[in-house]
């Protein structure tokens, strides 16, 4: 399982990130100050670190000095959005830089992207008797293979990587089909219906009125 360290002194933000990424299948640990983070990084190995800059004790830039030799991917998550701050963060060795406030769906997309570039992708997802293995692009239900089209599979991965998160229809369409969604198109709804039928997810894949869809379980 992918192991992520969240270093954020604002506990509500840290806990929100933890809750959402845990729902997506990642194993998360939270620390709320730089000194504790330094101890965790020294004692443990992580696949990814989400790092605030303005921290009590030791700030994010100082922690980068400790992190860099480990080659652990880092995403800075901070309220400091000035260009010079972004440049400094990337030059310090961060793999990405996300400015607060942010949408959870953007965070999960950036986490997914950084892990993929680092060759550390989620190996397996399980919901009930459905098993998805991204490396081999295989899907089984009750041990039997399930045949999906390419778009159905991309849609499935999007839901899996944002499990428990309400996704707007426009966001789903843009991520899977690209471009803006025609308000009259039923493409997304038809694909969701087919996924529900093929995977038996009538209850897991929930419609949210005037919003979109959410994968539960």
48-76 residue pLDDT tens: 999 999 999 899 999 999 999 999 999 99
> Which residue is listed with tokens 């426009």?
170
Q: Is the peptide bond before 155 cis (omega within 30 degrees of 0)?
A: no
* For residues 74-102, average pLDDT: 88
Distance separating alpha carbons of residues 98 and 50, to the nearest angstrom: 10
DSSP character for 181? P
- For residue 16, give both structure tokens: 């929100």
Q: What is the mean pLDDT of the chain?
A: 90
pLDDT at 24: 78
pLDDT (tens digit per residue) in 156-190:
999 988 888 889 999 899 889 987 777 778 899 99
Domains and CATH numbers, the chain: 3-117 (3.40.50.2300), 125-215 (1.10.10.10)
Region 107-114: mean pLDDT is 90
CA separation for the pair 13, 49 (Å, rounded):
15
Output b/e per residue, 31-66; b: 16+ Cβ within 10 A. Answer: bbebebbbebbeeeebbbbbbbbebeebebbebbee
Q: How does residue 122 score in pLDDT terms, banded at 50, 70 and 90?
A: low
Collapsing DSSP to helix, strand or coil, 202 comes out as coil
């Amino acid at each position: 399982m992918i192991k992520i360290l969240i270093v954020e002194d604002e506990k509500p933000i840290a806990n929100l990130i933890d809750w959402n990424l845990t729902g997506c299948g990642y194993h998360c640990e939270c620390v709320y100050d730089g000194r504790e983070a330094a101890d965790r990084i020294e004692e443990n190995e992580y696949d990814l670190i989400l790092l605030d800059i303005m921290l009590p004790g030791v700030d994010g830039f100082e922690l980068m000095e400790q992190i860099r030799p480990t080659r652990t991917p880092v995403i800075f998550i901070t309220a400091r959005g000035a260009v010079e701050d972004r440049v400094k963060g990337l030059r310090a060795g961060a793999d990405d830089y996300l400015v607060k406030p942010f949408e959870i769906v953007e965070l999960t997309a950036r986490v997914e992207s950084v892990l993929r570039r680092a060759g550390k992708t989620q190996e397996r997802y399980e919901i009930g008797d459905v098993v998805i293995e991204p490396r081999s692009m295989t899907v089984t239900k009750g041990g039997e293979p399930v045949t999906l089209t390419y778009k159905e599979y991309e849609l499935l991965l999007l839901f899996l990587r944002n499990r428990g998160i309400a996704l707007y229809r426009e966001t789903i369409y843009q991520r899977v089909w690209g471009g803006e969604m025609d308000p009259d198109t039923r493409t997304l709804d038809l694909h969701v219906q087919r996924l529900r039928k093929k995977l038996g997810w009538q209850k897991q894949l929930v419609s949210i009125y005037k919003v979109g869809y959410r994968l539960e379980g």
